[in-house]
């Protein structure tokens, strides 16, 4: 597999080796040793899958301590623009984001460590999105940030009028008003 570090500390793009022939293809989406060798050493406790239609935007989501989560995300049908946002006050890349197109075709994965908000928008007619989490979902600790906060400068590559949001995501606070992490205290790692 090919692992590319992004400008955000810990956020990595993973491109697996895909073996294809007339029957189809095969690749390893997770191999503990290979990922550990690449600096991703997580004990996954939960796998999630969502199906969404064109224009659906989910995010920007994260969980407060002590239920912070690292995620390994990928697409098995369709395509998304996937975004990781550094929400660690004091981090050299605080408030910056990376955006990566993930698709069934390119088979890329994105590793989003603890201390980052995460979201995606569906670029295809439909998408099936799957991800691993290293901590359980805890509704009482769920947090969000407004995806369209101008201070973030995220180009979601979709017309705002076509964006479909959950009621919860419509109410997410601006970045400046969100409950964030302290980089120096490493509280997002607890």
What pTM was estimated for this model as a whole?
0.95
What count of Cα atoms within 13 Å lies in the side-chain half-sphere of residue 84? 29
Alpha-carbon distance 121 to 119, whole Å?
A: 7
Per-residue pLDDT of the chain (190 residues), as tens digits, is 999 999 999 999 999 999 999 999 999 999 999 999 999 999 999 999 999 999 999 999 999 999 999 999 999 999 999 999 999 999 999 999 999 999 999 999 999 999 999 999 999 999 999 999 999 999 999 999 999 999 999 999 999 889 999 999 999 999 999 999 999 998 888 7
What homologous superfamily does CATH list for 43-185? Jelly Rolls (2.60.120.10)
Active-site residue 62, yes or no? no
131 is a catalytic site residue? yes
Active-site entry in 62, 131, 183, 188: 131
């Amino acid at each position: 597999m090919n692992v590319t570090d992004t400008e955000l500390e810990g956020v990595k793009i993973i491109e697996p080796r895909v073996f294809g022939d007339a029957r189809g293809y095969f690749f390893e989406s997770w191999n503990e040793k290979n990922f550990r060798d690449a600096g991703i050493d997580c004990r996954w406790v939960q796998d999630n899958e969502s199906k969404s239609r064109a224009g659906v935007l989910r995010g920007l989501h994260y969980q407060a301590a002590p239920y912070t989560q690292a995620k390994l995300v990928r697409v098995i049908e369709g395509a998304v623009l996937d975004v990781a946002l550094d929400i660690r006050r004091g981090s050299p890349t605080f408030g910056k984001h990376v955006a990566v197109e993930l698709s069934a075709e390119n088979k890329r994965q994105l590793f989003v460590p603890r201390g980052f908000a995460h979201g995606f928008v569906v670029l295809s007619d439909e998408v099936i999105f799957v991800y691993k989490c290293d901590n359980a979902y805890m509704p009482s600790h769920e947090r969000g940030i407004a995806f369209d906060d101008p201070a973030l400068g995220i180009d979601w590559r979709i017309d705002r009028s076509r964006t479909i949001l959950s009621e919860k995501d419509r109410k997410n606070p601006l970045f400046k008003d969100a409950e964030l992490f302290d980089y120096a205290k490493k509280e997002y790692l607890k």
